[in-house]
Amino acid sequence: MGKILLVTGENGRAVDNYPANSLGCPEAYPAPPFWLDLFSPSENLLWRISKALKFDQQVVRACLSRHRKPSCEDFGNYLLIQISLLEPSRKHLFIQRDIKIILSREHLITVHKSRTLWQGLFSSSTVPGFARTGTLLLTLLDSSIDRVMESFCHEERRLLPVPADHPPQQNPLWWRLRNFKAALFRDVNLLQGIAIAGDRFFEPDDKSFFDSIAAQNHLLNHVTTRLLSRMFPHVEVPSVQLHKKFS
């Protein structure tokens, strides 16, 4: 069953379980800016939203696709961003939630088929107002990577070295940490693409958000390398160079 969350920017009002029949025509939408979060929407609903907001058909097909390759496409008045959001997981260290994002100056639309931590950030009593959709998106990304960092601080305390006669390639944790490093590298590259392609959707002071997210990714990369070195001291850990600054 799909679920719709609508958050308006001017007064910070959140409407959980927003009625789908209110999204069929432009007149039914609130004044911009607003955030529309769609959890497991139907194909019919996506086409109705696309018609009302004049999205390219390619955007709807991308939202329906399970394609996981991160990307940022410029459609002129809006960006289509496809990202696998990192979230902490006690069992697997981290998991990835595939999210499609449509960003314009008027609205931020997020589409996903599994629940994300983003949904827990807003309630009717704690929604902050926002004036820019680009800043809101960066706030959400920043909060997500912050949760991952916090979980790794706890994880590091309980990981012990692995005996030298245990090949790291046969240890699931080795691959999880290696995949995590690769995901960090991927996300920083995507963030660089968003900063370049979406320059008109962000304000000069949003640069601090870009730098903050990149710096946290850089730190997590360092922590992950240290974890691998501690657990597998007999194995050389390849380093990944992450970009930290955005223009």
Report the Cα–Cα distance between both ends of the chain, in Å, rounded: 42
Could you give the number of structural domains in the chain?
Answer: 1
pLDDT per residue as tens digits for the range 41-90 = 999 999 999 999 999 999 999 999 887 788 999 999 999 999 988 888 77
Longest dimension (CA), the chain: 67
The verdict on residue 45 lying in a domain is yes
* Tens of pLDDT, residues 199-242: 889 888 888 888 888 888 888 888 788 777 777 776 665 555 54
Task: Note whether residue 245 is domain-resident.
Answer: no
Judging by DSSP bridges, how do beta strands 34-39 and 79-89 pair with one another?
Answer: unpaired
Q: What is the pLDDT of residue 164?
A: 59
CATH number of domain containing 138: 3.30.460.20
Residue 139 maps to a domain: yes
Is 241 part of any domain?
no
**Confidence label for 14 from pLDDT (cuts 50, 70 and 90):** confident
- From the list 3, 204, 213, 2, the residue with the least C-alpha distance to 122 is 3
Q: Give domain status of residue 35, yes or no.
A: yes
pLDDT, residue 166, reads 62
For residue 163, is pLDDT > 70?
no
What are the strands, taking DSSP E only, across the chain?
3-8, 14-16, 34-39, 71-74, 79-89, 93-103, 107-112
Position 110 in a domain: yes
Per-residue pLDDT of 35-52, as tens digits, reads: 999 999 999 999 999 999
- Of residues 104 and 124, more confidence is placed in 104
Domain assignment present for 243? no
Containing structural domain, residue 128? 3-231
pLDDT tens readout for residues 95-105: 888 999 999 99
What pLDDT band is residue 244 in, cutting at 50, 70 and 90?
Answer: very low
* 236 within a domain of the structure (yes/no): no
Q: Between 161 and 100, where is the model more confident? A: 100
Are 5 and 15 in contact by the 8 Å Cβ rule? The answer is yes
Q: Which residues contact 94 (CB under 8 A, 6 or more apart)?
A: 86, 87, 88, 148, 151, 176, 180, 183
Q: Give me the pLDDT at residue 237, please.
A: 59
